[in-house]
Structure 1
Amino acid sequence: MHQTLNAAPTSPVVSLKNVHKSFGPLKVLDGVSFEVDRGEVLVLIGRSGSGKSTALRCIDRFEKIDSGEIVVCDHRVSDPKLDLRALRQDVGIVFQSYNLFPHLTIEENITLAPCSVKGISKAQAKEQARQVLAQVGLEDKLHQYPEQLSGGQQQRAAIARSLAMQPKVMLFDEVTSALDPELTGEVLKVIEALAADGMTMVMVTHEMGFARGIANRVVFMHRGKVHETGPAAILTSPATPELAQFVGTGL
């Protein structure tokens, strides 16, 4: 009985098949394939320039791929006729830089997209803003401006802004790399809570300890390829010398 209830959503939420991407002569993604199931946390790791952030940006069509196929929440991302607005409603992305509008309050930053993209009422959007800010521990910052918040608070507000769109998948691109350790901890706690709630997530991070604790699966990228993949345990017992060297350096 349980099987029939869950029969529909068994296909992966995110699927990359043989994805290639170059910037001019530089090959950044060289036949990358991986899948993410519903409720799974997939962590992408690798040296700078290994292609992990580019792979993440291709999932949300911030970058167009040269060949291969990407399907996210049943949207064929590689299709030239893709409805970008529909894709962005299903996929939230949080970058290293918070990208909050400085001239808008935190509430206004969060209500902007739900009102303009989803067409929900101002009152409903405000209530939603309150809820998502409570979720990231910032309910009291509703009427403040980004410059009045610490870096960690701004990053949590950026996460709340993505959550307000009620996405099916969240993408995180090195969201703690600009923060000091204390602020990093507060942002990672929010992400842990989302994982506990069953949010499907793809994360690029250099925080190996965090990756070990949160990842259902780890994808180690090396020179534009998926070099090694497996459960978080591969971080403590890597199968390839490249991953052993990477985790050994603590990068």
Structure 2
Amino acid sequence: MTMHVSQVSQQPISSSGTAVVRFMDVHKSFGAVEVLKGINFDVDRGEVVCLIGRSGSGKSTALRCVNGLEPINSGTIDVCGHRLGGGSAPDLRNVRKDVGIVFQSYNLFPHLTVEQNITLAPRRTKRMPTDEARALAMSVLNRVGLAEKAQSYPEQLSGGQQQRVAIARALAMKPQVMLFDEVTSALDPELTGEVLKVMEDLARGGMTMLVVTHEMAFASRVANKIIFMHQGRIWETGGRDLLARPQTPELKQFIGTGL
């Protein structure tokens, strides 16, 4: 069902009650500017939820709140059994073991090989033995199609390959949910395609994913739920057909049908 902001209730938007991520009346401000104005939605286990909207609509801020990169002002976020907000003081170290995140910038360590970039966190946070960590690195590199690049350095890789390594690095922590924040916006179309293919493969494998994206074709093809954010609120939400049948002038204009 598609909803305009005036119809959005204070109950989370949920489809099956198996939420891995749940936003409940979440507010977030930067100084005097309120960026999130009472956000409610769920991401169920195994779902792909895409957040779309113009720059400044609050979608990336919402994503960054999920693993505590941005603290919320009020409301609560439940993620993988952890609660953020509501007066609680979560152990962000444990939250981030369950929540992988990939950014627009790859954030790889340039002085480390691909394998070393991937094994660093499992060895330090999980005290994983070196041989086990190296085997894990090869496993996740196989998943993103880059096993042959294990001993390469980031500068020897294309942008698309670096982004796929960043995805592999997040997967190495065996997260329950993966967050993707505009991961293809710095890539040309060919490289974008190779990264989106990896994300589609993860979706088919049952990975729970919350994705901020401008790739409307990807959202229409892969998402179980699409959420259109506008001015810090959830303006419309629906399934993969949302973009084919927008209900509000704001969404029509965003996807170009109202021009």
2:24 is the counterpart of 1:47: no
Q: Shift of residue 90 of structure 1? A: 0.4
2:114 is the counterpart of 1:112: no
Name structure 2 gaps, 5 residues minimum: 1-15
CA RMSD of the aligned region, Å? 1.3
- For 2:167 and 2:88, how far apart are their aligned partners in 1? 29
2:249 is the counterpart of 1:241: yes
2:81 is the counterpart of 1:70: no
2:203 is the counterpart of 1:177: no
2:135 is the counterpart of 1:141: no
Equivalent in the alignment of 1:195 = 203
Equivalent in the alignment of 2:215 = 207
2:26 is the counterpart of 1:16: no
Q: Shift of residue 171 of structure 1? A: 0.2
* AA matched with 2:101: I
Q: CA deviation digits over 1:13-33, x for unaligned, max 9?
A: 000011000101111000011
- For 1:42 and 1:119, how far apart are their aligned partners in 2? 32
- SS of the aligned residue for 1:120 comes to coil
Q: Shift of residue 241 of structure 1? A: 1.1
- For 1:76 and 1:165, how far apart are their aligned partners in 2? 20
- SS of the aligned residue for 1:77 comes to strand
Q: CA deviation digits over 1:28-69, x for unaligned, max 9?
A: 000011001000000000000000000000001000000000
Equivalent in the alignment of 2:41 = 34
- For 2:49 and 2:167, how far apart are their aligned partners in 1? 17
Name the TM-score, length of structure 1 as normaliser. 0.94
- For 1:77 and 1:128, how far apart are their aligned partners in 2? 30
Q: CA deviation digits over 1:55-98, x for unaligned, max 9?
A: 00000100000000000011002254211111111000000000
Q: Shift of residue 164 of structure 1? A: 0.3
Q: Which of 91, 97, 107 is 1:89 aligned to?
A: 97
* AA matched with 2:196: L
Q: Shift of residue 249 of structure 1? A: 6.7
- For 1:217 and 1:241, how far apart are their aligned partners in 2? 20
Q: Shift of residue 11 of structure 1? A: 3.1
- For 1:80 and 1:104, how far apart are their aligned partners in 2? 37
Most deviating of 76-85 and 159-168: 76-85
Most deviating of 10-19 and 111-120: 10-19
Q: Shift of residue 239 of structure 1? A: 1.2
Q: Which of 135, 156, 160 is 2:168 aligned to?
A: 160
2:136 is the counterpart of 1:128: yes
Name the TM-score, length of structure 2 as normaliser. 0.91
Name structure 1 gaps, 5 residues minimum: 1-8
Most deviating of 80-89 and 186-195: 80-89
Q: Which of 50, 59, 66 is 1:59 aligned to?
A: 66
